[in-house]
Amino acid sequence: MTIRKVNLHEKFGQFNDYWNPRIVGEINDAHIKLVKIKGEFTWHHHEREDELFLVVKGRLRMHLRDADVLLEESEFIIIPKGTEHCPASVGGEAHVLLMEPAGTLNTGNLVNERTVAQPERI
């Protein structure tokens, strides 16, 4: 394994589409992914995977069945496995770092037009 530093702003500058996570690193059996989001995603859950969402730029509202959590830049939330959630940007585009077990589908228990089965590595 090659040791390298990663500049998040440079990596985010390599793509412009939304809801299409890119793998930028690995730690143990987890992937570190970057995704640009705009608008609202799909309600879903992950049977076996916890997920970390860290807001790098913009604002994220995590809709949960019993509450909403607003995240500002430099804040993160961990969504436990089995928890239904629906991420949404607030006020335009948001840049989010995800950490989740390798192989985690972005749409969790659903397979639809937003599912990214094999995320690109950048």
Query: At residue 109, does pLDDT exceed 90?
Result: no
Counting runs of H as helices and runs of E as strands, what totals does the chain give?
1, 7
Amino acid identity, residue 115? T
Distances (CA, A) of 88 to 2, 66, 73, 76, 91: 35, 16, 14, 14, 10
CA dihedral sign of residues 79, 85, 90, 96 = positive
**pLDDT digits 0-9 by tens, 15-25:** 999 999 999 99
Across the chain, mean pLDDT equals: 95
CATH of 8-101 given 3.10.20.30, 2.60.120.10, 3.40.50.2300, 2.60.40.650: 2.60.120.10
Classify 47 in phi/psi space as left (phi over 0), alpha (psi -120 to 50) or beta: alpha
Domain ranges of the chain: 8-101
Q: What is the mean pLDDT of residues 61-86?
A: 98
